[in-house]
Amino acid sequence: MNHQQGNVSEAVRALQAQFGARVSVLPDICAAHGRDLSLHPGMPPDAVAFPESTEEVAQIARLCSAHHTPMIPFGAGTSLEGHVAAVRGGVSVDLSGMNKVLEVGQQDLDCLVEAGVTRQQLNADLRDTGLFFPVDPGADASFGGMCATGASGTNAVRYGTMRENVLGLTVVLPSGEIIETGGRARKSSAGYDLTRLFIGSEGTLGFITKVRLRLTGIPESISAGLCAFDDMEGAVNAVILTIQMGLPVARIELLDEKAVRGCNAYSHLDMEEKPTLFLEFHGSPQSVKEQAERFGEISLEHGGGAFEWATREEERNRLWTARHNAFYAGLNMRPGSKALTTDVCVPISRLADCILETKADIGDSALIAPLVGHVGDGNFHLVFLIDPDSAEEEREANRLNDRLVLRALAMGGTCTGEHGVGLGKKALLAQEHGSALGLMRTLKHAIDPQDLMNPGKILP
Amino acid sequence: MNHQQGNVSEAVRALQAQFGARVSVLPDICAAHGRDLSLHPGMPPDAVAFPESTEEVAQIARLCSAHHTPMIPFGAGTSLEGHVAAVRGGVSVDLSGMNKVLEVGQQDLDCLVEAGVTRQQLNADLRDTGLFFPVDPGADASFGGMCATGASGTNAVRYGTMRENVLGLTVVLPSGEIIETGGRARKSSAGYDLTRLFIGSEGTLGFITKVRLRLTGIPESISAGLCAFDDMEGAVNAVILTIQMGLPVARIELLDEKAVRGCNAYSHLDMEEKPTLFLEFHGSPQSVKEQAERFGEISLEHGGGAFEWATREEERNRLWTARHNAFYAGLNMRPGSKALTTDVCVPISRLADCILETKADIGDSALIAPLVGHVGDGNFHLVFLIDPDSAEEEREANRLNDRLVLRALAMGGTCTGEHGVGLGKKALLAQEHGSALGLMRTLKHAIDPQDLMNPGKILP
């Protein structure tokens, strides 16, 4: 990459001249924009800009480019691999003020949102339409961020990830050029698929400023519930069979006994402290009933207990809130701890092996690390709870994390199913995609020849 | 682009030295590799190479690059926009000999195939596994070609297009470098999405030599049938409501009265000559029954007649064979004619407007052009039947085609839902993606700086 000497202070002065108080250099503001929810050390930018339109983002990009100054897109700050750290300083561009739902195409099941709109905001906005946006990574992330990391989450087993649910994007390239990708048609073979080039690009190729999303009709019938298993092997094998049989579960989430204990304490529940599946079925009343019955048969074969239903909406919400809070429930299990969170994804046939070997590995160490996962996709997380003052615990968590990823790769899996590479998995990306890294670098260099867009991320 | 002076004859001599009889310069062989199923004039390459492995494709790419000689990937030759025409001569690389199914992951519902494997070959191969590959463009295309055009077809409304059903690729870059993209995990956020960059790239960025596909369990129950409507508006509105209600139809295909007439004659059927929907439902016996009942209610509201069922497998096959042969049935309606086939895709809410305006436009002309479509996605085709000796008829078909595409674009649609851009829609791509063409060119130039990979396609 061509690291020309930047002049950040000139860029900041020029931005302040143009945007006034909407460019901040206050240390608190800068610090808050240089860190995410992970353990990665915060690296504050030199300034934070708060644009209100695509055109303003383009102006910022032009100014930063002219002054060889790094630019880091910032959404809700909920990423988990140090994505927003200003590794080489520069300007954080906070898109949270671009938070308008611009269009809802009720007849076409689509909508157009600005990048700062969050998942929960959109779904609240859609309340009266009978539609929802299904991708649900847990955190109330912004759509720009969800695109940038290729987010997915609990519903992906049924509805797909961001890759399958974004129809098009408005993107500001590092040069300040504004482009539109994709469109409103459900499918297209018109030219290169630029939409998916930016999904998962983690802010390294341009700013996503608007997103056109596919929406889904709220299913006529939804039922959810819990099923505890005698052992982990039984729980995972029940998942594997469910997927292999093509049962269209909407959600199938695993919590190990430690994660259950944490959720019980944090969310005031009284689940049995056993490996537990949280499930949700969507469809017509008849099809939901049929799915639940079939799952019941599978579960029985694998040591699953009685299904505990949550049919009312409040009960369901309580259940999924508890699941989404598993991260905080983990932290709460060891007061004062910080969490190192990781995620891998493996082919479904290897899921039991991968989880059992990983749990044995953690069992051999002194660390506590609850396991939760979107297991219908073969995707799971560990939350290592470590003493923030103990370099040794952090080293140990990193050692176990590396072993987990190498195990997943050896099984044909990926180093990250949904969190992205960021700072944390650059070396592991090289292990996974050695032959393709050269082409990734070629693309990065072609689009961002000065290496100004979120530098230092993804590519080792 | 940097059009260096090529030396094709030297490249061909070097290839013959290396591959012997597996490099042909016979005029018939060359001519057959320079044309597809469309009306686009054939442009024969200077030679055709028949590699048998990824490594051999890489050798060919290295030799052609060294001699600045164009390379054109060739699969089954079933494309429809002149994709294989050797616009600047060079070497056609016929991958049909690379036709092995390398792995079937029955537990993981995936497989790995060489690029020359065809859709029907794979599904025959999977016969005893209970699995199938759902994307079905009609033609018995090769998987390399289906990836390269971003193919879809009748099942896409339920199972998605190639974009959603390819897990990873082996690609030979123009330089001869071999890379692997994607992997076996169901989802990944590990780096740029190179897989989808090559899907839809129409041979302009590299050779696809292996494809890892998602497979689907054969549904427990399948039922299919026909429903004739009093008028086109009713038929299309029934489709729109079906999609808006989220009914998970597996196929919902429209034939206008002309296409029905053609199919009756060609496939010896006796359907009523009315706008007709061909439908298929997949699921459990109960869910299939429920879907059919719901569709029946929708259809009744929109002037649909009684549903004619084809429950036995032979009847179903007969029905879908007739649908797939609609192209030939069209040609058969006007003996001696050639077909100019086009495809557009619009947001579902505009489908009735687009089809009705298009049919009025054709009605005002002297041409015959049956209309068929994968209408669940908002995608439809016209097959203009023209006298091969009449330049005037070809001009008229092109005029109507341009009007159709501009109409679709004005409705928020795309110039091609599945056929790709090739030679035929380059100017229209500029109309659709004006702002993004610069970035498409940047990518092309970065990956293929000598402009040797299938030159003259996609980019205007």
For residue A36, give the nearest of A115, A123, A122, A148 by alpha carbon.
A148
pLDDT given at position B4: 46
Distance from CA of A366 to the nearest CA of B (A): 29
pLDDT given at position B51: 98
Chain A residue whose CA is closest to B241: A107
Phi-psi region of B374 (alpha: psi -120 to 50; beta: other; left: phi over 0): beta
pLDDT given at position A5: 52
Distance from CA of A435 to the nearest CA of B (A): 5
Strands B221-228 and B166-172: unpaired
Are B254 and B212 in the same domain?
no
B434: CB partners within 8 A, 6+ apart: none
Are B316 and B281 in the same domain?
yes
In a domain, B63, yes or no: no
What is the identity of the amino acid at A240? Answer: I
B362: CB partners within 8 A, 6+ apart: B369, B382, B400
Q: Which of A303, A327, A351 is the last residue of a domain?
A: A327
Percentage with pLDDT > 70 across chain B = 99
B353 touches chain A (CB under 8 A): no
Are B199 and B169 in the same domain?
yes
Q: Which residues of A touch B439 (CB under 8 A)?
A: 173, 177, 179, 194, 447
> Taking a contact as any Cβ pair under 8 Å apart, which residues of chain B between 124 and 183 contact chain A?
149-152, 156, 160-161, 163-164, 173, 177-181, 183
Are A121 and A209 in the same domain?
yes
In a domain, A83, yes or no: no
In a domain, B67, yes or no: no
Q: How many domains does chain B have?
A: 3
The answer to whether B192 contacts A150, with C-beta atoms less than 8 Å apart, is: no
The answer to whether B191 contacts A286, with C-beta atoms less than 8 Å apart, is: no
The answer to whether A445 contacts B446, with C-beta atoms less than 8 Å apart, is: yes
Residues B120 and B102: their CA atoms lie apart, in Å, by 16
Are B205 and B115 in the same domain?
yes
Q: Which residues of B touch A446 (CB under 8 A)?
A: 442-443, 445-446
Q: Which of B294, B327, B360 is the last residue of a domain?
A: B327
Q: Which residues of B touch A149 (CB under 8 A)?
A: 189
Q: Which residues of B touch A150 (CB under 8 A)?
A: 187-189, 193
pLDDT level of residue B3 (50, 70, 90 thresholds): very low
In degrees rounded to 5, what are phi and psi of residue B73? -65, 140
The answer to whether A443 contacts B192, with C-beta atoms less than 8 Å apart, is: yes
Distance from CA of A292 to the nearest CA of B (A): 13
> Taking a contact as any Cβ pair under 8 Å apart, which residues of chain B between 8 and 67 contact chain A?
none
In a domain, B455, yes or no: no
CB pairs under 8 A between A and B: 275
> Taking a contact as any Cβ pair under 8 Å apart, which residues of chain B between 227 and 256 contact chain A?
240, 243-246
The answer to whether B417 contacts A188, with C-beta atoms less than 8 Å apart, is: yes
The answer to whether B438 contacts A177, with C-beta atoms less than 8 Å apart, is: yes
Give the pLDDT mean for B240-253: 93
In a domain, A363, yes or no: yes
Which residue carries 């729109």 as its tokens?
A: B240
CB atoms within 10 A of CB A391: 10
Residue B248 is part of which domain span? 221-327
The answer to whether B346 contacts A185, with C-beta atoms less than 8 Å apart, is: yes
What value of ipTM does the predicted structure carry?
0.96
Are residues A114 and A53 in contact, defined by beta-carbon separation less than 8 angstroms? no
DSSP assignment of B22-73 equals GEE--HHHHHHTS--SSSSPP---SEEE---SHHHHHHHHHHHHHTT--EEE
Give the pLDDT mean for B363-381: 96
For residue B195, give the nearest of A34, A193, A320 by alpha carbon.
A193
Are residues B196 and A196 in contact, defined by beta-carbon separation less than 8 angstroms? yes
Query: How many residues appear in chain A?
Result: 460
The answer to whether A440 contacts B191, with C-beta atoms less than 8 Å apart, is: yes
Are A299 and A204 in the same domain?
no
- The predicted-structure confidence for B133-191, as pLDDT tens digits, reads as follows 999 999 999 999 999 999 999 999 999 999 999 999 999 999 999 999 999 999 999 99
Which CATH number does the domain housing residue B166 bear?
3.30.465.10
Q: Which residues of A touch B193 (CB under 8 A)?
A: 150, 163, 196-197, 199-200
Q: Which of A327, A353, A380 is the last residue of a domain?
A: A327
Q: Which residues of A touch B151 (CB under 8 A)?
A: 189
Is residue B15 over pLDDT 90? yes
The token pair that represents B92 in the structure block: 């056609």
pLDDT given at position B308: 85
Are residues B250 and B155 in contact, defined by beta-carbon separation less than 8 angstroms? yes
- The predicted-structure confidence for B66-123, as pLDDT tens digits, reads as follows 999 999 999 999 999 999 999 999 999 999 999 999 999 999 999 999 999 999 999 9
Which CATH number does the domain housing residue A323 bear?
3.30.70.3450
Is residue B32 over pLDDT 50? yes
Chain A residue whose CA is closest to B150: A189
pLDDT given at position B1: 37
Are residues A159 and A134 in contact, defined by beta-carbon separation less than 8 angstroms? yes
Alpha helix (H) ranges present in A82-177?
119-125, 143-149, 156-159, 162-165
> Order of strands across the sheet with B276-283?
B308-310, B221-228, B276-283, B251-255, B371-374, B379-386, B338-345
Residues B355 and B236: their CA atoms lie apart, in Å, by 8
Q: Which residues of B touch A176 (CB under 8 A)?
A: none
Is residue B2 over pLDDT 70? no
Q: Report which secondary-structure segment, H or E, holds A179.
A: strand A178-182
The token pair that represents A297 in the structure block: 């048969």
Residues A254 and A275: their CA atoms lie apart, in Å, by 7
Q: Is B121 exposed, middle or buried (0-12, 13-18, 19+ CB in 10 A)?
A: middle
Are A212 and A108 in the same domain?
yes
Q: Which residues of A touch B433 (CB under 8 A)?
A: 180-181, 190-191
pLDDT level of residue B307 (50, 70, 90 thresholds): confident
Distance from CA of A246 to the nearest CA of B (A): 6
In a domain, B146, yes or no: yes
Are A181 and A232 in the same domain?
no
Which CATH number does the domain housing residue A374 bear?
3.30.70.2740
pLDDT given at position A34: 98
Mutation target to probe the A interface, by most A beta carbons within 10 A, among B112, B170, B188 is B188
pLDDT given at position B309: 86
A293 touches chain B (CB under 8 A): no
Are B212 and B226 in the same domain?
no
pLDDT given at position A2: 38
Which of B163, B283, B347 is facing A185, going by the closest CB pair? Answer: B347
Are A172 and A274 in the same domain?
no
Are A209 and A226 in the same domain?
no
Which of A161, A190, A246 is facing B414, going by the closest CB pair? Answer: A190
Are B209 and B228 in the same domain?
no
Q: Would you give the end-to-end CA distance of chain B in angstroms?
A: 12
For residue A98, give the nearest of A58, A138, A152, A153 by alpha carbon.
A58
> Taking a contact as any Cβ pair under 8 Å apart, which residues of chain A between 196 and 225 contact chain B?
196-197, 199-201, 205, 216-217, 219
pLDDT given at position A6: 62
Strands B178-182 and B101-105: unpaired
In a domain, A349, yes or no: yes
Are residues A36 and A75 in contact, defined by beta-carbon separation less than 8 angstroms? no
The answer to whether B347 contacts A177, with C-beta atoms less than 8 Å apart, is: no
Chain B residue whose CA is closest to A438: B179
B410 touches chain A (CB under 8 A): no
In a domain, A77, yes or no: no
Divide the 460 residues of chain A into consecutive groups of 10 and give the mean pLDDT of each group.
Answer: 65 97 98 94 97 98 98 97 97 98 96 98 96 95 98 95 98 98 97 98 98 96 94 95 92 96 94 96 92 94 90 88 91 92 96 96 96 96 95 96 98 98 96 96 98 97
What is the identity of the amino acid at B2? Answer: N
pLDDT given at position A310: 83
Phi-psi region of B82 (alpha: psi -120 to 50; beta: other; left: phi over 0): left
CB atoms within 10 A of CB A17: 10
- The predicted-structure confidence for B404-419, as pLDDT tens digits, reads as follows 999 999 999 999 999 9
